[in-house]
Amino acid sequence: MVTDYGFPDLEFERQIAESAGAEFEAFQCKTEQQVIAAAKDADAVLVQFAPVTRAVINELSRCKVIVRYGVGIDNIDIEAARERGIIVCNVPNYCIDEVADHTFAFALCLTRQVALIDAEIRRNEWNNTPARSMPASRQMTFVTLGFGRIARAVLDRAAACKFKIAACDPYLPAETAASVGIANLSLDEALATADVLSLHVPLNDASRHIVNARTLALLKPTSVLINTARGGLVDGVALADALNRGALAGAGLDVFEKEPLPLDHPLRSCSNALLSSHIAWYSEMSGGELQKMAAEEAIRALRGEPLQSRIV
């Protein structure tokens, strides 16, 4: 069964399930209680944004596998699933290029001040030089927090545009960093070095609000921040304050702690922030790929076959 989805239809999942001899059901659950009512007798659960909490997992009487539509798994209680012996999988191999493209589009738009210059023209202001400093890409350092699939794709794009590149990933082996010629910085070094800082780490207790008032103060006032990973990585109120004070040049955000972004959130009034609606994953290809990969992984788990992206 599918707890919730934002796709136009679920024909990929339905066909894959039925061809394997499984029944198929889909819902649009928003709450724990709705997920429990829908999923309590399911053998396999596919989830997009619905909460799969400990309370939910404790009520799953037959579940063998939970598959998250996407890379992040922060809406699933992994420890509760582990205790119940329920397999949890994600889909890490889709939308890598889409998210990398979206991230780098933010980077170029912010460093080239495209939105600010567009706004000037619409105010009938015509300036041949920008109001604030605009270094060339070859003068700037592009740093990713994390060095996974998407971060590497982003850094490839940055290198192609002549940015100096570096990463901050405590799990990156020194020999791997050396083999690809990437500087692996500490967090404080990354913050002090970055002209563009792009977040590509999972959300967990250690990474929640990794961008906060203290860490924002370590960035250069000319730097830009990009987050296409998870909204909870950033203290949005502290970021809005830094942007409004001129302590940070700009930010590009595709994800937020609460989605949709509340109407009264201070980020909405930041003229130097670019905001998009958790859409970095999307292309005409990526949605179908995600649906197909998630459903196929669920069937592999039910059949006891080797899995491609098992978390627990």
Q: What is the pLDDT of residues 143-153, one digit of tens each?
A: 999 999 999 99
Residue 163 pLDDT class (50, 70, 90 cuts): very high
Confidence band of 60 (pLDDT split at 50, 70, 90): very high
For residue range 71-96, what is the model confidence (pLDDT) as tens digits? 999 999 999 999 999 999 999 999 99
Superfamily of segment(s) 96-275: NAD(P)-binding Rossmann-like Domain (3.40.50.720)
Query: What percentage of the chain has pLDDT greater than the value 70?
Result: 100
Give me the sheet containing 273-275, strands edge to edge.
183-184, 164-168, 141-145, 196-199, 224-227, 250-253, 273-275
Give the separation between CA 206 and CA 232, rounded to whole angstroms: 11
- CA 149 → CA 96, 99, 251, 309, distances in Å? 7, 10, 22, 14
> In the prediction, which pLDDT does 239 show?
98
The CATH class, in words, for 11-94+283-303 is: alpha beta
Q: Residue 301 above 90 pLDDT?
A: yes
Give the model confidence (pLDDT) of 135-145 as tens digits. 999 999 999 99
Q: Does 279 have pLDDT greater than 90?
A: yes
> In 10 A of CB 148, how many CB atoms?
19
For the residues of 128-157, what is the DSSP string, one character each?
SS-SS----GGG-EEEEE--SHHHHHHHHH
Total count of residues recorded for the chain: 312
Query: What is the per-residue pLDDT for 131?
Result: 87
Domain ranges in the chain are: 11-94+283-303, 96-275
Average pLDDT over residues 300-309: 98
Rounded CA separation 255/248 (Å): 19
Mean pLDDT of 165-182: 94
User: Would 11-94+283-303 and 96-275 be classified into the same CATH topology?
Assistant: yes
- pTM exceeds cut of 0.75: yes
pLDDT grade for 309, boundaries at 50, 70 and 90:
very high
Q: What is the mean pLDDT of the chain?
A: 97
Catalytic residues: 230, 259, 278
Q: How confident is the model at residue 128 (pLDDT cuts 50, 70, 90)?
A: very high
